[in-house]
Structure 1
Amino acid sequence: MQADISQIIISPIKRLILWLSKRNITKLEKEEDIEGLAEILCGTSGELRLDAALALGRIGGKSAMAMDSLIYALRDNERDARRCAAIALGEAGCHKAVTPLIMRLRDDDDGVRKAAIVSLDKLSDHEAVERLIDCLNDPDPSIRGKAAWALGKIGDLRAIDPLILGLNDKDPNVAYEANRALYCLGWNRL
């Protein structure tokens, strides 16, 4: 089988363009860059999305429009856009995003749910506790573990009984995270 010559030539060119794009996106930090970054986040695919989302997150402290772009991206049809937006909102410390992130805990995509949990963990908002407790019953053990740890870090005592049940999880990593979370909450097993 002979390789298509156009693929041999275009592939390195595409990689170079992607590399240059990534380098430039990380430098975008002005309010006038928001519209273009939002377009990249919701209008492209692949590696540039996370860079655009994180750039919006860096701008976020200076601009409500950047945060609004990320919150809007949480409803995008593409799971990568939702996941990247969730990550960036947590990194930016955007408390305005707590309710939209809580809604992403019911996303069909595991990666989006994990990113939402990690961001809610960083935001440490008690509003998320009930839905994080629900995540302790998720079929995916990594989601149950992340939810357990987030509950411990948030520090809400409503999580103690569900976390005690998590000590008996069939996945040892989940039980470990539940134990760590309980320790954070000041609960000691006798």
Structure 2
Amino acid sequence: MESTIEELIELLNDKDDFVVEDAVGQLEIKGEEAVEPLIGALSHRKKNIRLHAATLLGGMNAESAIPALIETLKDNNKLVRREASTALSRMGAPAVDPLIGILTDDDWKVRGAAAWALGNLGDEKAIPELEKLLDDESSFVKAGAKSAIETIQK
């Protein structure tokens, strides 16, 4: 019997890696049909579900997930934030302006994640805003901005 998308999402937290891998594969096959439930899963109480949801959305290049992934950069878990940043860096041009928009966020973790993602995207229009972060109070943000600028200028 075929599992529903919601059941597959719950399996992303299974203790058995093979079960998780199978659920990921089935969700990838579902494609567009799984995007909205996966966006919802970004706010699930279980860290592994949030993490895998971000990974899947990045792999699907689901542009509709950009706002939710941006919000996920505020997650309490470092691995979830990192995966959301990676997912955003896979979205291409549609993610650039939203990421530039959060470079002024009050949370240094959000600013830093956005800087790193922008570096991966490589869009030169981000450079002026990234340069403003070179004097940031957070060393993580400064390092992300410096790395992003260097990567973009290569």
* Same-fold status (TM-score > 0.5): yes
Aligned counterparts, 1:160-175, within 5 A: 160-168=127-135, 171=139, 175=142
Partner residue of 1:54 out of 21, 24, 30: 24
Inter-partner Cα distance in structure 2 for 1:108 and 1:121? 20
Long gaps (5+) in structure 1? 1-31
Does 1:71 find its partner at 2:39? yes
What root-mean-square deviation, in Å, do the aligned CA atoms of Structure 1 and Structure 2 show? 3.2
State the Cα distance separating 1:121 from its structure 2 match. 0.6
Please tell me whether the aligned partners of residues 156 and 185 of structure 1 are also in contact (alpha carbons under 8 angstroms).
yes
Aligned length in residues: 147
Inter-partner Cα distance in structure 1 for 2:88 and 2:22? 20
Normalising by the residue count of structure 1, what TM-score does the alignment of the two structures yield?
Answer: 0.60
Please tell me whether the aligned partners of residues 8 and 27 of structure 2 are also in contact (alpha carbons under 8 angstroms).
no
Inter-partner Cα distance in structure 1 for 2:33 and 2:49? 17
Deviation readout 1:52-84 (Å, 9 max, x if unpaired)? 5632452143xx322223222112111221111
Does 1:128 find its partner at 2:98? yes
Aligned counterparts, 1:1-190, within 5 A: 32-35=2-5, 36-41=7-12, 44-46=13-15, 48=17, 50-51=20-21, 54-61=24-31, 64-124=32-92, 125-134=95-104, 138-139=108-109, 144=112, 146-154=113-121, 155=123, 157=125, 159-168=126-135, 171=139, 175-186=142-153
Please tell me whether the aligned partners of residues 72 and 84 of structure 2 are also in contact (alpha carbons under 8 angstroms).
yes
Long gaps (5+) in structure 2? none
Do the aligned partners of residues 123 and 45 (structure 1) sit closer, same or farther apart at CA in structure 2, a change above 3 Å counting?
Answer: same
Larger radius of gyration: 1
Inter-partner Cα distance in structure 1 for 2:59 and 2:23? 10
Q: % of aligned pairs identical?
A: 27
Do the aligned partners of residues 34 and 106 (structure 1) sit closer, same or farther apart at CA in structure 2, a change above 3 Å counting?
Answer: same
Secondary structure of 1:133's match? coil
State the Cα distance separating 1:117 from its structure 2 match. 0.7
